[in-house]
Structure 1
Amino acid sequence: MKAIYLDCFSGISGNMLLGAFLQAGVPEAYLRAELAKLPLEGSYVMKVEPVMKNGIAACYVDVRLPHHDDHHDGEHGHEHRTMADIRALIEASALSEAVKARSLAIFQTLAEAEGKVHARPADTVAFHEVGAVDSILDIVGAAICLDYLGIERVFASKVNTGSGFVHCAHGLMPVPAPAVAELLLDWPSYHAGAEKELTTPTGAAFLRSQAAFSESLPEGFRAAGAAYGAGTWDLAIPNVLRLYIGQLEEAAENGQGTDFLVLETNIDDMSPQVYGYLYERLFTVGALDVWTTPIVMKKTRPAAMLSVLCRTGSKDACASVILRETTSIGLRVRKVAQRIEAERETVHVATPYGEVACKRAFWHGALVNSKPEYEDCCLLARRAGVPLKQVEEAARLALAALACDGLRESKS
């Protein structure tokens, strides 16, 4: 499966993530086109440029608002938004459902941390630094990049938080900022190299929501390349985030003791409307599969058994979502010794209606299955005002042509 490893020796922030993803192969034009689907009022300028950080060639991304040109000490002006505002903005966008779900998962993680720090419900927290256009673009942009690259697992190292103090909307705060400290409570961290804020709330929320800790490159991870996203600072150490991209061998992962689990619970008192949202949240925190089975409980009540397949490392995150989002007050946990799966990749094909992401599966090197992403086809069908099956057929034809090209190349 396709995976990335984030080496956070100089911290992690939203713009560092975007820079690393762009250098790792996400086309800048694609990222800009997807971000344009957000219904943001006003305009913004996203600057992307190659930079050198202590001799390392990196990609620097910076988002600025035209009316906030005069910033000091590298900080941007900010607009306040609540989590409810941000959720409404993302849900109203034309982004794919997968990108929406991942973006909201990252923001929700951040909202819960901010809410705990300020003793307020997560939905009512007024985001200052992270509520502005630049940070919305950072978080949604990271979700877009993960989706484009087809990343299934994210790993990260211990984190350099930086040290000293930082100016924010609440005044002078210690580094790491309170929200960052909350997000990294059980994540190995340290500070070295600079009295600066090296890890931001957006960067910490990405780790907490999307990544699993690994001291070094995980066993069985075969890196195909490394990319660097630049931070704002010029320091004694290179202010870059290093991203390794490659394949994680399933057998090797199982050898590390990362067995598979099934979490189960019986639910007889919850609205069926909740399940769609629940499924999305579970997939964003690492669930491999989610399903419900009709059952009959005591007093012949019709009910549903919720089942979630996940890795051991995702157990706590999945359990947290179930207990927070459903009426369940307990779970059963069963160990699954092994899971056999084909190698997978995501490719993007051009159709007369637009670009469609497609999944392809391989068994022992042979292509055994391929299909267009349903949500992408739905979006293009709505835009073009044509039947969904017409877009799906165009995508399948493009996929077939791609497979034929690959076969010709292998023969030659």
Structure 2
Amino acid sequence: MPTLLYQCPAGLSGDMNLGAMIALGVDPEKLKSELEKLPYEGWSIQFTDDERSGITGTRCDVKEGHTHSHVHAHSHSHSHSEGHHHHHRTFAEIRDAINSSQLKDSVKADAIQCFRVLAEAEGSVHGIAPEAVHFHEVGAIDSIVDMVGAAICWDLLGVTRIAYSELELGGGTVQCAHGRMPVPAPATARLLEGMVVSTGATNKEATTPTGAALLVGKNASYQPKLSGQLIKVGTGIGQRKDPNLPNAVHVALIDEVSTITQLAQDTVWELAANLDDMSPESTGFLAEALRSAGALDVWQSPAFFKKGRSGTVVHALCAAAELETVEAAFFKHSSSLGVRRQSWQRSILPREIHNFASSLGAIRLKVATRPDGTSTCKIEYEDLAKLANEQDLPINRIEQTILHEWNVSRK
């Protein structure tokens, strides 16, 4: 499975990413022809061989305000004086523009999802709906080209997932449309919640909102160690020059075919208790309490106990780190005077959660890879039920529609 591993010691921006994609082997002419399917005019894109502190790579420049294009150049790069006219486009406007294009459905889905996660972060910060978010810097044509261009490049490289081993955010402050903000800006910080990051390597903004949205929108996982065949490495050069921190991102194309089909092994604990004097409602509450305590799974089995009493055996599966917490929940929320425990060895298929932009709305899909390399997909039930209620449609029809769109997007 082709995987892109992002190493971002100087952060990540949209133009740095496109530079790295060209360095990895994406045809700049093909990228430009695909970008021209967007309903926007008055822009050009140029790729230039450049270096930062002796590190060579490819720099990307997207110009707005003129239509003649420069697809590739070398060290004799030149600049243009036409001004940039940044429009404040809403997420809904950008989404509709992408959907109206002739781009592949899978490219549309990736690009829209990157904008969506950023709109959700912005909306959360400002207290408005994602569809109503007005993008300022990201609403400009250069950022749109960066974001959609990334989705095109991932498709051209045949990439099914991306990972990162390092992500620098920077420091100091940055001037935004809403004034001067600390780095990372509020929306960027909200967007990156839960991700492994570093700060302080520079007193400037290292990871831009666009760069953050690319990683989050494509479900980038933190992988400090990754095994597989290294196909190629591409370096994208950023605009800023910093003598203390080479402004470059390194992206490795890795074939994980030899490793992803191997089953992971781990040890889990099963706790169980016999219950013959609790009501179904109380037993249901116990199951929820066990999940909240950290149980990986909870299930019930009907049983017959002494004196012919019928009852239930409640089982909970957990990792060793949660063993005491889950056991404490058993004693706190059940009538049982004892809890059995035993350890199990288990094999686990690789799986990932994908945020998929379907025609019915955003939804999470759990995708597992089988030992033969094939994939199976399961929709997260909570999202499925939410969409069924919102769309007022049968849940099985929602499921069929989304699974069909998912399969089409992967072709």
TM-score bucket (shorter structure) = 0.5 to 0.7
Classify 1:259/1:104 alpha carbon distance in 2 versus 1 (closer, same or farther; 3 Å).
same
Output the CA distance in 2 between the equivalents of 1:169 and 1:93: 29
- Tell me which structure has the larger Cα radius of gyration: 2
- Contact in 2 for aligned 1:260/1:309 (Cα 8 Å): no
Is the CA contact (8 Å cut-off) linking 2:228 and 2:259 kept in structure 1?
no
Paired residue for 1:63? 62
**Are residues 1:224 and 2:314 paired?**
no
Task: Find the counterpart in structure 2 of residue 10 from structure 1.
Answer: 10
Q: Would the alpha carbon gap of residues 6 and 320 (structure 1) be closer, same or farther in structure 2, given more than 3 Å must change?
A: farther
Distance 1:114 1:308, change over 3 A: farther
The secondary structure found in structure 1 opposite 2:263 is helix
Q: After the TM superposition, which residues 161-310 of structure 1 pair with which residues of structure 2 at under 5 Å, given as runs?
A: 161-218=169-226, 220-235=227-242, 236-248=244-256, 249-251=258-260, 254-255=263-264, 259-260=349-350, 277=359, 287=367, 309=377
Aligned pair partner of 2:150 in 142, 162, 179: 142
- TM-score between the two structures when normalised by the length of structure 1: 0.64
Tell me by how many angstroms 1:162 deviates.
0.6
Distance 2:382 2:59 in 1: 35
In structure 1, the residue corresponding to 2:359 is in which secondary structure?
helix
Letter of the 1:182 partner, please give it: R
Shift >6 Å, 4+ stretches? 373-377
User: Partner amino acid for 2:236?
Assistant: G
> Structure 1 62/222 Cα, relative in aligned 2: closer, same or farther at 3 Å?
same
Residue number in structure 1 paired with 2:132: 124
Equivalent position amino acid for 2:178 in 1: H
Match of 2:47 in 1: 48
Residue 256 of structure 1, CA deviation? 7.2
Tell me how far apart the structure 1 counterparts of residues 363 and 376 of structure 2 sit (CA, whole Å): 8
**2:100: which partner in 1?**
92
CA offset digits 1:290-349 (Å, max 9, x no partner): xxxxxxxxxxxxxxxxx9726xxxx9xx67754664439xx9xxxxxxxxxxxxxxxxxx
Deviation at 1:254, TM superposition (A): 3.5
**Any unmatched runs of 5+ in structure 2?**
67-79, 267-347, 370-374, 396-406
| Alpha-carbon distance in 1 for matches of 2:410, 2:198 | 41
Alpha-carbon distance, 1:194 to partner: 1.5
Corresponding residue for residue 389 of structure 2? 327
**Two-structure CA RMSD over aligned residues (Å):** 3.3
**Residue 49 of structure 1 aligns to a residue in which SS?**
strand
Structure 2 CA distance for partners of 1:194 and 1:131, relative to 1, 3 Å:
same
What TM-score do you get using the length of structure 2 for normalisation? 0.64
- 1:36 maps to what in 2? 36
Rounded to whole Å, the distance in 2 between the matches of 1:308 and 1:134 is: 37
The aligned counterpart of 1:26 is 26
Q: Distance in 1 between matches of 2:249 and 2:382?
A: 29
Separation of aligned partners in 2, 1:164 and 1:96: 40
Three-state SS of the structure 1 residue aligned to 2:115 is helix
Q: Secondary structure at the match of 1:189?
A: coil
AA in 2 matched with 1:21:
M
Q: Which amino acid aligns with 2:349?
A: D
Aligned equivalent of 1:106, options 79, 97, 114? 114
In the TM superposition, what is the alpha-carbon distance from 1:132 to its structure 2 partner?
1.0
Q: Deviation digits for residues 204-253 of structure 1, max 9, x if unmatched?
A: 111112133334242x3321221101111111111111100020134466
The one-letter code sitting in structure 2 at the alignment partner of 1:80 is: H
Cα distance change on mapping 1:38 and 1:4 into 2, 3 Å: same
Equivalent residue for 2:87, pick from 79, 86, 93: 79
**What is the CA-CA distance between 1:87 and the residue it aligns to?**
1.0
Query: In the TM superposition, what is the alpha-carbon distance from 1:276 to its structure 2 partner?
Result: 5.6
The Cα of 1:69 is off from its aligned counterpart by: 4.3
Residues 16-71 of structure 1, C-alpha deviations (whole Å, 9 max, x = no match): 1111111001000000000000011x411212101011111111111121279477
2-structure distance, mates of 1:323, 1:10: 42
Percent sequence identity is 35
